[in-house]
Amino acid sequence: MKAQRDEFIEYLFNQAKLDPDIIFISVDMGAPALDQWREELPNQFVAAGISEQNAINFAAGLAAAGKKPFVYMMACWVARCFEQIRYSCAMPKNPVTIIGNGVGLGYAPAGPAHEPTEDLCYMRAIEGIEIVSPSSSEQVRFIAESSLKAPTLRYVRLERSVSERLAERVGGDLISGVDQLHLIKGRSDRRLTILSSGYLLNRAIDAAENISKESGWSIQILDVWKIKPLDLDVLYKKIKDSELLITLEEQARDGSFGAAILEATSDLNLLIPTLRLSLSSAFAFENGTRDELLDHYGLSKGEIESKILEAIGERSKND
């Protein structure tokens, strides 16, 4: 199974052979998937080295000149060039696609410097940016295609690894970016919705089966892979009949995905109780694999289940 990074780069490379305006800028050491660019399209490939700020400024200049620039880097280093993204790309509306590889705890056990657990918070603050976090191969290809057909300032958050059952699934609402990934029919007519994206969708699905058995509630799992802007019309239709919302994310709590959903439900005047499950708002200095760190920070399958069941119990008590 191809990595999301390789899917994205392969699609762009094939298009770049037909379009000389597509320019790929690689920060740091790059990736083996870029060898073809170096060899076959050297005039459309720039090895920027360890210079994220310069890469973004260069890409902004290319965009202003009518080119189609893509900047590739590890997602953790996007924070280094926040100023350049804001001033050189967002303010003058230069359509640059920023590809961040290895989101959340994807680079564990490399340590907190390599684990961008707050990138959604600071990137969501930028005006006019689109943020996407694909879970499937189909979504990756759609985003790569959209980056050429509908250029804008776009932050593409790629997973280093996802399971085959997510990466290879077919279907979904590609236009809105809100996909009903899974629906479990419970014994009662009560319904809760889990909203997540990427790596944690596996844990959401696994937990949902037991939660439905224990509670009798129907459970809907939404893959909200287009995080900014949220499609409020589609989101409203998907969640309006829910009695409880759960946001599940591999991010620090402040200002991230759960906050985006709360803002959306407030704007939609939907007064639905919401439980936010996330990492704590602290850097992950502990050492371990991605799954070990998720378990350590309260996002194990068992803890997800128990916290949701507790929220269901509280909801039932208050009726």
Q: Which of 66-80, 177-191, 304-318 has the highest mean pLDDT?
A: 66-80
Architecture of domain 4-164: 3-Layer(aba) Sandwich (3.40)
In the chain, where the domains are located: 4-164, 176-317
**Confidence tier at 172 by pLDDT (50, 70, 90):** low
Contacts 24+ apart (CB under 8 A), 85-89: 85/56, 85/123, 85/126, 85/129, 85/153, 86/126, 88/56, 88/57, 88/60, 89/56, 89/59, 89/60, 89/63, 89/153
Does domain 176-317 correspond to CATH entry 3.30.559.10? no
- Quick check: 239 and 270 in contact, CB under 8 A? yes
Q: What confidence score (pLDDT) does residue 181 get?
A: 79
pLDDT, one tens digit per residue, over 4-49 is 999 999 999 999 999 999 999 999 877 788 899 999 999 999 999 9
- Identify the weakest region by mean pLDDT among 53-57, 123-127, 166-170, 194-198: 166-170
| More confident position, 302 or 167 | 302
Query: What's the rounded mean pLDDT across residues 187-204?
Result: 92
State the chain's mean pLDDT as an integer.
92
Q: Per-residue pLDDT for 167 more than 60?
A: no
Q: What confidence score (pLDDT) does residue 163 get?
A: 63
Q: What confidence score (pLDDT) does residue 31 get?
A: 78
Q: What confidence score (pLDDT) does residue 317 get?
A: 75
Q: What confidence score (pLDDT) does residue 183 get?
A: 83
Same fold: 4-164 with 176-317: yes
Q: Per-residue pLDDT for 168 more than 70?
A: no
Query: What's the rounded mean pLDDT across residues 177-204?
Result: 89
Q: What confidence score (pLDDT) does residue 170 get?
A: 42
Query: What's the rounded mean pLDDT across residues 277-289?
Result: 88
Q: Per-residue pLDDT for 91 more than 50?
A: yes
Q: What confidence score (pLDDT) does residue 1 get?
A: 67
Query: What's the rounded mean pLDDT across residues 77-104?
Result: 97
- Identify the weakest region by mean pLDDT among 86-100, 176-190, 193-207: 176-190
| More confident position, 182 or 306 | 306
Report the percent of the chain where pLDDT is more than 90.
Answer: 78
**Confidence tier at 162 by pLDDT (50, 70, 90):** confident
Q: What confidence score (pLDDT) does residue 164 get?
A: 60
- Identify the weakest region by mean pLDDT among 159-163, 183-187, 213-217, 254-258: 159-163
